[in-house]
């Protein structure tokens, strides 16, 4: 008697609620459709037509393409070009140092001096290379100064282009190598290249001059090394003869002669004599 009316009320309430939800959905859909129709119906002002562009000549490249400006606003080379040239110079610097300066001759002489003393690893190669490097900078200082004055600074200021700076900058280095190259070595490289003999030193090309300069440097280095070996060879002979006369044939002569070699080298100021001779051999060129 109690559950029947309650079940009837609940069914009627759910039916009314469903009708209201359907009506709300229909009203919302109608409003959206009316808004969209009104939006499409709004008039839009037409855009004005644009004038056609004039045809361009396909052979005219004056304003198109990619251009790279290597100079700054004042005519000097841009910082990017200077940085690129600096990196390139650093990459070829070891070859230039070995082939076109006094480094090779100095290093060979110092290494032969070390071998004459029977000290194969003292001083180490790093010390000899560092000493040869700074001696080369000392000897080449006038040449580097001339290159900086006549070529590098005018190029950085914008008064010279790269080609003229390269030609002017190579001339002091070329004169240095000519002053330290024998005529026989120049003739040897000229004949090897199957070229006619140059009429004057200005006609010698760098491709012929650089290897001739290296041959002359190595020849001079071996002559200096031979002179250095002679006094130490005399000490070895005297020590060996003394040991043989005393019957000490099992005792290595190097163990006895090494202290005398070092003593002689220190007493005559061997390093000073060698360095002074090396620097003096380039004084006429500088």
Per-residue pLDDT tens for 152-204? 777 777 777 767 777 887 788 888 888 888 888 888 888 887 777 777 777 77
H helices of 148-161, where? 153-157
**Closest to 180 in 3D by CA, of 213, 221, 206:** 213
- The single residue listed with the structure tokens 């005559």 is 268
β partners of residue 71:
77
CA–CA dist 168, 149 (Å, integer): 10
Residues 217-227 pLDDT 10s? 889 899 988 88
Q: Decide: 185 and 216 in contact? Cβ < 8 Å.
A: yes
Q: Decide: 181 and 212 in contact? Cβ < 8 Å.
A: yes
**Closest to 231 in 3D by CA, of 113, 121, 119:** 113
Residues 10-61 pLDDT 10s? 566 666 666 666 666 667 766 566 554 444 445 556 677 777 776 666 555 5
Token pair, residue 276, equals 């002074």
CA–CA dist 262, 83 (Å, integer): 48
**Predicted confidence (pLDDT) at residue 1 exceeds the cutoff of 50:** no
CA–CA dist 96, 187 (Å, integer): 23
Residue 60's pLDDT is 53
Q: Which helix (H) or strand (E) covers residue 99, if one does?
A: helix 79-100
Residue 79's pLDDT band (cuts 50, 70, 90): low
**Closest to 176 in 3D by CA, of 52, 282, 50:** 282
Name residues whose C-beta falls within 8 Å of residue 45's C-beta, 6 or more positions apart in sequence: none
Residues 250-267 pLDDT 10s? 777 777 778 888 888 888
Q: Where do the domains of the chain lie?
A: 79-280
Residue 41's pLDDT is 47
Residue 30's pLDDT is 63
* Mean pLDDT (the chain, rounded): 74
Residue 2's pLDDT is 43
Percent of the chain topping pLDDT 90:
0
Is the dihedral angle over the CA atoms 249, 255, 256, 257 positive or is it negative?
positive
Token pair, residue 29, equals 């859909």
CA–CA dist 81, 75 (Å, integer): 13
**Predicted confidence (pLDDT) at residue 110 exceeds the cutoff of 50:** yes
SS3 77: strand
β partners of residue 77:
71
Residue 239's pLDDT is 80
Q: Decide: 158 and 75 in contact? Cβ < 8 Å.
A: yes
How many CA atoms lie within 13 Å of 47's alpha carbon, on the beta-carbon side? Answer: 3
């Amino acid at each position: 008697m109690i559950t029947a009316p309650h079940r009837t009320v609940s069914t009627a309430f759910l039916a009314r609620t469903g009708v209201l939800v359907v009506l709300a959905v229909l009203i919302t859909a109608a409003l959206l459709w009316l808004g969209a129709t009104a939006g499409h119906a709004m008039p839009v002002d037409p855009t004005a037509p644009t004038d056609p562009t004039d045809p361009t000549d396909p052979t005219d490249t004056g304003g198109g393409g990619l251009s790279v400006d290597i100079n700054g606003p004042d005519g000097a080379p841009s910082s990017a070009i200077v940085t690129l040239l600096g990196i390139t110079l650093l990459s070829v610097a070891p070859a230039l140092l070995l082939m076109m300066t006094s480094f090779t001759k100095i290093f060979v002489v110092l290494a032969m001096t070390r071998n004459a003393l029977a000290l194969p690893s003292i001083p180490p190669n790093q010390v000899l290379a560092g000493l040869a490097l700074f001696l080369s900078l000392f000897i080449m200082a006038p040449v580097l100064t001339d290159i900086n004055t006549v070529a590098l600074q005018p190029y950085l200021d914008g008064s010279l282009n790269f080609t003229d700076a390269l030609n002017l900058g190579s001339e002091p280095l070329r004169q240095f190598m000519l002053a330290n190259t024998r005529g026989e070595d120049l003739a040897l490289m000229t004949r090897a290249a199957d070229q006619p003999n140059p009429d004057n030193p200005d006609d010698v090309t760098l491709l012929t001059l650089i290897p001739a300069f290296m041959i002359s440097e190595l020849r001079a280095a071996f002559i200096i090394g031979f002179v250095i070996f002679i006094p130490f060879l005399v000490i070895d002979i005297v020590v060996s003869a003394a040991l043989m006369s005393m019957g000490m044939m099992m005792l290595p002569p190097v163990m006895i002669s090494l202290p005398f070699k070092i003593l002689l080298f220190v007493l005559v100021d061997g390093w000073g004599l060698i360095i002074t001779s090396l620097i003096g051999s380039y004084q006429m060129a500088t």
